[in-house]
Amino acid sequence: MPMKSSDFIVATHSLHKAYRVGEEEVEVLKDVNLNVSRGEFVAICGPSGSGKTTLLNIISGIDRPTSGQILVLDQDLAVQDEDFLAEFRCSNVGFVFQSYNLVSTLTVAENVAFPMEWIRKPEAEIEKRVAELLETVGLQHRANHFPAQLSGGEQQRVAFARALANDPELILADEPTGNLDAKNGQKITQVLQMLKASGKTVIVATHDPELMQLADRTVCLEDGRLASKNE
Amino acid sequence: MSETAFPVNDLLRRKLQTSLALVSLTVCVASTLFLLLFSDQIGFGITSAAENTLTIGYYAIFSSFLRFVGILVFAVGAVIVSFITFLMMAQRTRDFGLIKAAGCPNSLVFGYFLTELLIVLFLGCALGVALGFFTNYAVINMSTFQAYQKAPNFWYAPLVFVAFFVFGLIFGLKPLLNAARLSPTAAISPMQYFGLSEGNRFKALSKSRLTLKIASRSLFRRQSATVRIVVFLSIVFILLTVSIAGSIIANGTTATRVEKAVGKDMLLVAHKDMGSQYISLLSKFSGAKEKADFNYLDPNFAIPDAALQQLNTISGIANFEKRLVCEGQIHELMNFTYSDSETIPIGDHREADSLIVGVEPEKVLSEWFIEGQFLEKGNSSEAVVGDSIAAVMFEMPLLQSFRMQNTTLNIVGVCLDPINNGIVVFVPFEMLKSLNNVSDPNIMLVLLDSSVDRSSVIMQIQKRLADANLDLTVFELNEALEKNVGFLGAIWSVIMFLPLFSLVAATLCLIGYLVLAIDEQRQEFAVLRAMGAKPKTVLAILAVQSLIVLFSSFAVGISLGVMGTLMILMVQPVVTSFTILEIAGWLLAALFGMFLVSLWPAARFAKKPILKIMS
């Protein structure tokens, strides 16, 4: 069935993803059909190994499906080349990893700035935006520190600031509170609340009940198949 | 798992790193062994062959060059081995910590990695020795080198094996011992990983470009390995500069000196036997043999005034010079010098047979490279000696005199001239004439105007000489000159060939360094790609790292190499703008080649899917 994507920021149809491990083929995603509207906050839950990270990777263009269609912002990501996907991610998708993944050779401010440098924004605009984002996540006093000098919670907040740098329409977060204690987890929840309020489309893979409560909709992945929880 | 099973499996699992270390070690050991064997068989083969053909001045330049290059080759080999083993074991600091954290005793982990080091070192050295012998056998049997062969010295094999094995062990043990001293958490921490510095010690080289920023900070973070590769590559570039620049400059200088001494585009007019003998004496430098028991003063060889008058009437002749060439015995005279009011004897009473050339000082067409000064017009008691006779017969030639046919002559200069391999003395023409009781010269050197048609002037000279019934022939000296220059060129090109292997080993080490950079920055590159960096951005960051390392070492190596070449190895070098362009061309080609090849792992890595990099 042809997909009508314009109503949705993300639309997947019959999405399959399999990995080859030695002689064996492991199917991670099976016939996943997921539509996400603009401004929607969707939580993806499911046990470890159910395919949450793989689904986020495919939506962001980091990975490709084995079969099926994936349309993000009306672009069929399965057929695009690496350079297109890189530019697409840089401008349209903000990705937050569970393990923060900041660039250790860059300071906090530089980590937030580099996605903007790639699309050649003017220097003054970058500086203004970095200051704004660090204030949003409450880390302006850490601007010149390196990631190794920050706590886990602080690093995750920098990762959020970095994901928002180019003001993307879509924010993807892979278990953003998974490595954090309750207090730091709370701060991340506040950031996500703020994103929801600003009308961003957010898809979060999580086990955190607080984040699930925040979501407009929670979908569950079980053994690679999608099962709605509270649509 | 048994104590040997772990290291073997670990080495097999890390295929790329293990094979790179093994190949680099093998190439390094092989190149050093090959160069030692090659220098011994061919290089010194040539020098010992050249000892009897080259003049002593030229021979000294060549052999000191070869010795210097040999020392550098061994030094490069030693630094490469230490770098490879350091790199190999420094990469394991984190694994060391992880295994300790899992509960394995320190001594056992140390044993695992020591076994790995010993396996790789043993295999690398053994394969290197085999490859070194094979390469030497293959190269030495090439037709170019067959004339200079000596039997190989097999003692070089254990020497290189043991020396490099010990070097490798010492430098490989250092990071292992450091890792053993660290607590598991410290070893796992990125603060220790490849010598990572404290965060606030980061220094950016550039604040504008992201690529340069990441590249420069990564280099600084990896400072321990970076300093080593820069030092190592600097030595390689010194070797390259000395070999390439030195060979080109020395070749140019020696060739120019030969050209000036013999005379470019010069003609020789003499009786055909005398002319052939003179040309053989000139070509002795490149292996020709002159006639023994030759009577230079045969009256048939005399060139009468009529010939000179004929030459005077031919237009197109720029200048000509008459010489009297003969053979004779010279006797060293003992002399004294004073130092701190002490009288020191100089010299002995040595004797030698030498070629004696009588020249008119004010008319000589040759421009010799000379220590001291040339003969003065009107002074009949002075002589200039060739460099070979100066070296074998005189202690301090410029302070000494010699006797020849009961006449005492003071030595005022030592010159480089290929004739008779430098066993020559130049004396005043008139004095030599009266000593030998002859009235005419026996050779005539003729220099033509550069603008004239050479062949027509030569034909004109031949015709005039024949018309005057003179039994004289015109010889072109260019052929002998080309032979000499070609022989020198062949010797220097052998030296230029020597650093090729070191260059290959250096390139492999640079690749090893970039593999280390990729390994260390793997996660960061994955994140950059996930955040929107194109594969070419990753390639650019790695290329900048390679360029910074290469340029730093290039700058140091070239500066020291040029200083060494010009100040230590050559006196008064002849350096033209073409020489500089030629040297720059070769060195830049080496630099560019190394840079391109070093990008191979980076290009391979940049193409990988993001998830594969992250996994």
Q: Give the pLDDT of residue B146.
A: 59
Q: With a cut of 90, say whether residue B428 has pLDDT above it.
A: yes
Select the more confidently predicted residue: B389 or B11: B389
Please state the rounded mean pLDDT for residues A44-72. 91
- Cα(A160)–Cα(A156) distance, rounded to whole angstroms? 6
Interhelix angle B223-262/B210-221, nearest 10 degrees: 100
Phi, psi at residue A202, to the nearest 5°?
-125, 130
Q: What is the pLDDT of residue B54?
A: 56
Question: Which H or E run includes A14?
Answer: strand A8-21
Question: Hey, are the CB atoms on A89 and B530 less than 8 Å from each other?
Answer: yes
SS3 content of chain A, % helix, strand, coil (to 5): 40, 30, 35
Judge contact between A152 and A159, C-beta under 8 A: no
Tokens of B245: 């620049």
User: Which residues in chain B touch residue A55, judged by CB atoms under 8 angstroms apart?
Assistant: none
| A contact test, residue of B200, B523, B527, B528 with most A CBs within 10 A | B527
Q: To 10 degrees, the CA torsion angle through B146, B151, B154, B157? A: -20
From chain B, the residues in CB contact with A148 under 8 A are 190-191, 199
Q: How far apart, in whole angstroms, are the C-alpha atoms of residue B350 and residue B44?
A: 29
* HEC-encoded secondary structure of B376-437: CCCCCCEEEEEHHHHHHHCCCHHHCEEEECCEEEEEEEEEECCHHHHCEEEEEHHHHHHHHC
Query: Three-state DSSP class for B205?
Result: coil
The better pLDDT of the pair B469, B140 is held by B469
pTM of this structure = 0.64
Q: Are B210 and A97 a contacting pair at CB < 8 A? A: no
A228 token code pair? 């709605």
Hey, of A21, A104, A118, A149, which one would you mutate to test binding to chain B, going by the most B CBs within 10 A of its CB?
A104
Contact residues, chain B, for A149 at CB < 8 Å: 199-200
- Give tens-digit pLDDT for B98-136: 777 777 777 888 888 888 889 988 999 999 999 988 888
Mean pLDDT value of segment B488-495: 71
**Residue B201 pLDDT level (bands cut at 50, 70, 90):** very low
B528–chain A Cβ distance below 8 A for any pair? yes
* DSSP-assigned states of every residue in A103-155: -TTS-HHHHHHHHHHHTT--HHHHHHHHHHHHHHTT-GGGTT--GGGS-HHHH
Pairing between β-strand A217-222 and β-strand A41-45 as defined by DSSP bridges = parallel
Partners of B428 in beta bridges: B359
B544 membership: H or E segment, kind and range: helix B535-563
Segment A116-166, tens digit of pLDDT: 887 888 888 888 999 999 998 888 888 888 888 888 889 999 999 999 999
Strand partners, B474: B269
Judged against a pLDDT cut of 90, whether residue B144 lies above it is answered with: no
How crowded is the C-beta side of B466, counted as CA atoms within 13 Å?
8
B204 vs A156, higher pLDDT: A156
- Strand-by-strand arrangement of the A41-45 sheet: A93-96, A170-174, A201-205, A41-45, A217-222, A225-230
> Is it the case that residue B200 has pLDDT exceeding 60?
no
C-alpha to C-alpha distance for B331 and B348, rounded to whole angstroms: 9
Would you call A167 helix, strand, or coil by DSSP? coil
Question: What is the rounded CA–CA span in Å between residue B561 and residue B581?
Answer: 16
Q: Which residue from B232, B156, B159 is spatially nearest to B505, judged by alpha carbons?
A: B232
Separation in Å, CA of B80 to nearest CA in chain A: 28
Least-confidence region, from B25-29, B460-464, B497-501: B497-501
Chain B from 507 to 526: CB within 8 A of any A CB: 523-524, 526
- Given a cut of 60, is residue A204 above it in pLDDT? yes
B529 touches chain A (CB under 8 A): yes
Chain-chain contact of A148 with B610 (C-beta, under 8 angstroms) = no
Output the pLDDT for position B193.
Answer: 44
Is A102 in contact with A158 (CB distance < 8 Å)? Answer: yes
Q: Which of residues 40-79 of A touch B (CB under 8 A)?
A: 57, 60, 62-63
User: Using the beta-carbon criterion (under 8 Å), do B535 and A83 form an inter-chain contact?
Assistant: yes
Q: What is the pLDDT of residue B495?
A: 67
How far apart are alpha carbons B86 and B100 in whole angstroms? Answer: 21
Question: Is residue B571 classed as helix, strand or coil in its secondary structure?
Answer: coil
How long, in residues, is chain B?
615
Enumerate the β-bridge partners of residue B445: B268, B321
- Chain B residue numbers with beta carbons less than 8 Å from the beta carbon of A117 are 210
User: Comparing C-alpha atoms, which of B234, B282, B249, B251 is closest to residue B559?
Assistant: B234
How far is it, in rounded angstroms, from Cα A36 to Cα A72?
10
B609 touches chain A (CB under 8 A): yes
Tell me what the pLDDT averaged over chain A comes to.
Answer: 87
H or E, element range at B445: strand B443-448
Q: Write the pLDDT tens digit of every residue in B265-319.
A: 889 999 999 999 999 888 876 667 888 889 999 999 999 888 888 888 888 888 8
Residue of A nearest to B207 (CA): A110
pLDDT given for residue A231 in this prediction: 45
Sequence-separated (6 or more) residues with CB below 8 Å from residue B604:
none
Helix, strand, coil shares of chain B as percentages rounded to 5?
Answer: 65, 15, 20
From CA B548, how far away is CA B542, in angstroms rounded?
10
The reply to whether residue B199 touches residue A145, judged by beta carbons under 8 angstroms, is yes
For B584-599, the pLDDT digits (tens) are 888 889 899 999 998 9
Average pLDDT, chain B: 80
**What tokens appear for A133 in the block?**
């984002």
According to CATH, what is the number of the domain A8-230?
Answer: 3.40.50.300
What chain B residue is nearest to A112 in terms of C-alpha separation?
A: B531
pLDDT of res. B180: 77
| Partner-chain contact A105 B221, CB within 8 Å | yes
The residue among B534, B528, B520, B542 whose CA lies nearest residue B602 is: B542
**What is the pLDDT, as a whole number, of residue B197?**
40
Q: Is the pLDDT of residue B189 over 60?
A: no
What's the pLDDT score for residue B145? 57
Separation of alpha carbons B152 and B33, rounded Å: 11
Q: Which residue has the higher pLDDT, B498 or B556?
A: B556
| Residue to test with chain B: of A58, A103, A174, most B Cβ within 10 A | A103
CA distance A101 to chain B (A): 6
